[in-house]
Amino acid sequence: MTENLTPTRARHALWASMIALYLNGLLYAVWGVNIAVIRTRFDLSEGALSLALAAVAIGGIATMAISSRIVTRKGSRYTAMVSGLLMGGSASLILVIPQFMPLLALLFVFGIFVAAHDISVNTQVASLERLSGRPMIGALHGSFSAGGLSGALLSSYWQGASLPAEANFLVPAAAGAAVIILTWRFMVPREAENTSSAGQGARDTGAVDQRHKGVRSRLLFLGLLAFSALVVEGAFYDWAAVYMREVVKAPASWVGYGYAAFAVGLVSGRLSGDWIRARIVHQALIATGWIVAAGGLTAVLALRSPAEVVAGFFFTGLGISNIIPLLFSTAARLAVQGGMPASEGLAITTRIGYIGLLAGPLIVGPVAEFVGLRLSLLSLGIALSFTCAGWLVLSRRTGGKPWNISAA
């Protein structure tokens, strides 16, 4: 099967995967912008609103333990298609449910399928990287961010035009289902994934056993860094619109612009990230991003004008944009160095990291109950600093090659 993966076939599979994760990001952004609508509709306090965010997070976290087994058994192409359709179906009902408790149950289900779909598509592209020998994770994550941008702009327009709120989920979910049905077959099948994994798993079993402990320890540390970085992303996904409405007091048509600016920053950084990484060392990329993101977060928290705060959201997104692609790429390379399938290393790191994406909103809500939303978001600067400093320390200890297990 490996020899049948022509450059054209690989390109088609990558585009299908990018479209799939674009739709994931779009629906998640529509959810993020409409959190403020849900809060108003049910007159929720910040603590009660956190229950809704927790339902999505817990649903996703509960899926993490079994998703990799399902993908292994059924293949990432099939699971991406099924979970994508179910994700859209559950999303289409979010603003239809008239009572808060049934809504919590629906959000739990929505969280399950968002996470399962995300894991499936990432596994597909991890297989593509091994089969083609080309880095692709950055472009994939750029497509998710582009979907987030599109969803934020769509929802902002929807709210500004006073269109029926219920259709804000239904229209993109229906369109997304049609696209998934048309494109999922372009992904590589389970047989190709198994072939590439088997080829790596057969190498020098004795040496692999000796090195697994060190590899897994570093993969877990990469997962911890990813967790911290995705806490920041997750918090902005779910709280940016609320912050614009409740703290900045932005007009209704501006509520989604904070999220949109954050997504533009992520898209810009990730789509250009591969080109930049080929020209500067990764330590400089992370350090520069740290400075840019810290400046953006300061602007978000310190300034009052909606336009200035939106600019702060953009620079925060731009600064953190290449952290996750770099961590995930390193996890895959490190796994191969230790004789493990790249997908297994990626799964170990992403499983921990995505808990941060899902749990980030849960951290902000309860803290906001006591100190207010502005100070609650200040805690994200601590998470950002931990990730960047941790990467730089790891790079220093490994001679600038965190993916090389032989580096001490």
The domain spans of the chain are 8-397
pLDDT beneath 70: ranges in the chain: 1-4, 65, 192-212, 341-343, 405-408
Q: Tens digit of pLDDT for each residue in 106-120?
A: 999 999 999 889 888
Q: Tens digit of pLDDT for each residue in 39-64?
A: 888 888 877 888 888 888 788 877 77
Tokens 């108003």 sit on residue: 40
C-beta separation of 116 from 63 below 8 A? yes
pLDDT at position 221:
94
Task: Give CA–CA dist 305/294, Å, rounded.
Answer: 19
Architecture (CATH level 2) of domain 8-397? Up-down Bundle (1.20)
pLDDT at position 320:
93
pLDDT at position 93:
93
Distances (CA, A) of 126 to 12, 84, 95, 373: 15, 18, 35, 37
Tokens 């076939």 sit on residue: 9
The letter for the amino acid at 249 is K
Q: State the pTM of this model.
A: 0.80
pLDDT at position 344:
73
pLDDT at position 386:
94
